């Protein structure tokens, strides 16, 4: 009898807890939810149209015609300008400053003489014809489409449902089944 008394007490204590389901001591109430799979009947992609503006360079060939000047070799003007600039620079300063002024005058005079001789070539040279590219940047608008979602028709336990999803579920769709009593 001693060995059966603790066994009876253990059975009775387990029975009293099983009869009171409203005494749930867990962190959150239990839900009557289960997961199941539904058969996918149809998937229709939903497209979104949007416009993109992007810069693009457009070029075209343009006919050109210009007259080339004669006397285009500016060597003589460079030498003459250097001599004149050196002479003027030699008149400025004393001692070592005079040498520096002479060199600077020769360099500056040579550059000026080069430009003057080059630009003073006579008119009436040969006429050159050709083409050049005229390029400009333009905004081009293009239409683009992307999938925004999917309309999915599926069957669960004989009933047909339709949902819009962000993804294509394939042949089977996992569904959440919840059961609540109706009052």
Residue 80: name the closest of 120, 131, 140, 28 by CA. Answer: 120
* Torsion, Cα of 25, 28, 30, 34 (10° steps): -150
pTM: 0.40
pLDDT of the residue at 162: 96
pLDDT of the residue at 171: 95
pLDDT of the residue at 120: 65
pLDDT of the residue at 129: 81
- For every one of its 183 residues, what pLDDT tens digit does the chain have, with 9 covering 90 and above? 444 444 333 334 443 333 333 444 555 666 788 999 999 999 999 999 999 999 998 989 888 887 766 555 667 777 776 677 667 767 776 777 777 777 777 778 777 777 776 666 555 567 778 888 888 999 999 999 999 999 999 999 999 999 999 999 999 999 999 888 888
Residue 150: name the closest of 38, 47, 49, 50 by CA. Answer: 47
């Amino acid at each position: 009898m001693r060995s059966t008394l603790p066994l009876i007490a253990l059975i009775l204590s387990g029975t009293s807890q099983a009869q009171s389901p409203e005494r749930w001591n867990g962190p959150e109430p239990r839900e009557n939810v289960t997961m199941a799979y539904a058969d996918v009947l149809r998937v229709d992609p939903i497209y979104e149209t949007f416009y993109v503006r992007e810069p693009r360079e457009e070029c075209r060939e343009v006919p050109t015609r210009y007259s080339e000047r004669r006397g285009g070799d500016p060597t003589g003007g460079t030498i003459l300008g250097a001599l004149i600039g050196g002479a003027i620079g030699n008149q400025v300063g004393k001692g070592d400053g005079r040498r520096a002024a002479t060199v600077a005058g020769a360099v500056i005079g040579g550059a000026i003489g080069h430009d003057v001789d080059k630009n003073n070539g006579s008119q009436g040279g040969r006429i050159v014809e050709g083409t050049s590219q005229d390029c400009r940047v333009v905004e081009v608008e293009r239409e683009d489409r992307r999938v925004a979602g999917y309309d999915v028709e599926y069957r669960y336990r004989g009933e047909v449902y339709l949902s819009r999803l962000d993804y294509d579920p394939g042949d089977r769709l996992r569904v959440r089944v919840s059961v609540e009593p109706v009052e």
